[in-house]
Homo-oligomer: A and B are copies of this chain.
């Protein structure tokens, strides 16, 4: 099994300089740690809790920045798509198209994304069981595209709370597709602050480590140099200055896990 891939970046694109700063820092960290690195950032936050939440820089400008990250640093880039129309233009720039969890059953979006031929990272809906994912996969596969990643990002557990069921990771891996643990969204408290989501940033490394120990393919972590002042998802992002230690630690668990695979 290949070493752990790290999908990381700020929740939303803020500026080219900001994206390049975070991407470069994460590249250095991952290179040193022996992890493959994919830069992640959103050009649009299409389902903010509140209508007054910042949406992001938009498709055109966002793709320009993602192209710059790709060109200057030679990194693969990932962003999320929300409509069928966004899929083709995003796929011209991005290596990985991500399907947001709330949209993980929207057939047309899955088909449009699949048809681009890009890698599709689909987040399991908070309302889905692990064994529901083969239906989601079949929608993408129906386009002939089998470059699929499956992301766990927590399951609804009462109100304003998510829980991560570790059994979901080997269950989804049994489909044959690589499994990603989204360690920062799984510690969100959706709507937990009234007009925005709360989060338990301190538990993201807990979830990440537990998942990596099970031998997953990749970990997804949102990071920011100043989470408390980030335009979105501040409560659950990990401060950038903590990422070096975190990635180093996760790689040690990854090596042990890959040498001793879980067999269901």
Contact = CB atoms under 8 A, between A and B. Distances in A.
B105 A210 contact: no
Interface residues of A, number: 66
Contact of A158 (B83, B161, B262): B161
Given A129-B191, A142-B51, A253 B213 contact: yes
Contacts of A125: 102, 127
Chain B CB count within 10 A is highest, among A127, A160, A187, A253, for: A127
Contacts of A212: 213
B213 A50 contact: no
Interface in A139-165: 139, 142, 155-161, 163-165
A36 interface: no
Interface of A: 46-51, 55, 82-84, 102-103, 105-108, 111, 125-129, 131-132, 135, 138-139, 142, 155-161, 163-167, 169-170, 187, 190-191, 194-195, 200, 202-203, 205-207, 209-214, 249, 252-253, 256, 260, 262, 264
Given A82-B106, A83-B84, A167-B207, 15 more contacts: A47-B107, A48-B105, A48-B107, A51-B111, A51-B142, A102-B105, A126-B156, A127-B190, A129-B160, A155-B163, A166-B210, A167-B187, A206-B262, A206-B264, A253-B256
